Structure 1
Amino acid sequence: MRADLYLKYVNLVARRVLSKSFIESGNVLINDKIAKPSSQIKDGDTLTIYMGNTTLIIEASIKQEGKKILVGGTVIDKLERGIYQC
């Protein structure tokens, strides 16, 4: 499945056009490699997604049952960047 479609189907972006520009900005890595909107995501791939001060690490889940394709993902880690006072 294309990376831009995957981000849309798991509701990380509202539209495919936004997904495309988000990926082209270098905010998505697939298995630690910079993604393109047309990059293929397979079941079990690890996605690193930079969203502002938050970094999401997701394991992709893509299953085909007949004509249906089930798309999802499991958040492995969520990292927040910020300024912390001691």
Structure 2
Amino acid sequence: MRLDKFLKISRLIKRRTVAKEVASQGRVYINNQAVKASHDLKVGDEIMIQFGNKKLTIRVESLQEQIRKDETSRLYTVLKEEKIESESF
């Protein structure tokens, strides 16, 4: 499954076009490598996403084309959630 589609289905990012933009800006890493939105995911991949002042690291547990909203947490496990300190000048 494509990265952008997984991010939308898992509801980590609300829209697929936004997921594509985030990946093209170099803010998504899979197994410590920057990737494009078209990258094929596999079960067990670790995804790090940088949102503004937060980094979220998850592990892909399942790849499903369709899933109910209340079951999306089964698709991934949150490994780490960090705040990024902004430098003030």
Q: Common fold, TM-score beyond 0.5?
A: yes
Deviation per residue, 1:30-83 (Å, 9 max, x gap): 11111101101110000011111111110012256xxx6666111101111236
Larger radius of gyration: 1
Q: Equivalent residue for 1:26?
A: 26
More helix by share: 2
Question: Does 2:58 align with 1:77?
Answer: no
Query: Unmatched 5+ residue regions in structure 1?
Result: none
Q: Equivalent residue for 1:35?
A: 35
More strand by share: 1
1:75–1:25 Cα change, 3 Å: same
Quote the RMSD (CA, aligned, Å). 1.8
Give aligned pairs, total: 80
Instruction: Name the CA distance, whole Å, in 2 between partners of 1:6 and 1:60.
Output: 9
Instruction: Name the CA distance, whole Å, in 2 between partners of 1:79 and 1:39.
Output: 24
- Following TM superposition, where does structure 1 have runs of at least 4 consecutive aligned residues deviating by more than 2 angstroms? 68-71
Give percent identity, aligned residues only.
32
Instruction: Name the CA distance, whole Å, in 2 between partners of 1:69 and 1:60.
Output: 15
Query: Unmatched 5+ residue regions in structure 2?
Result: none
CA-CA distance at 1:10 after TM superposition:
1.1
TM-score, normalised by the number of residues in structure 1: 0.82
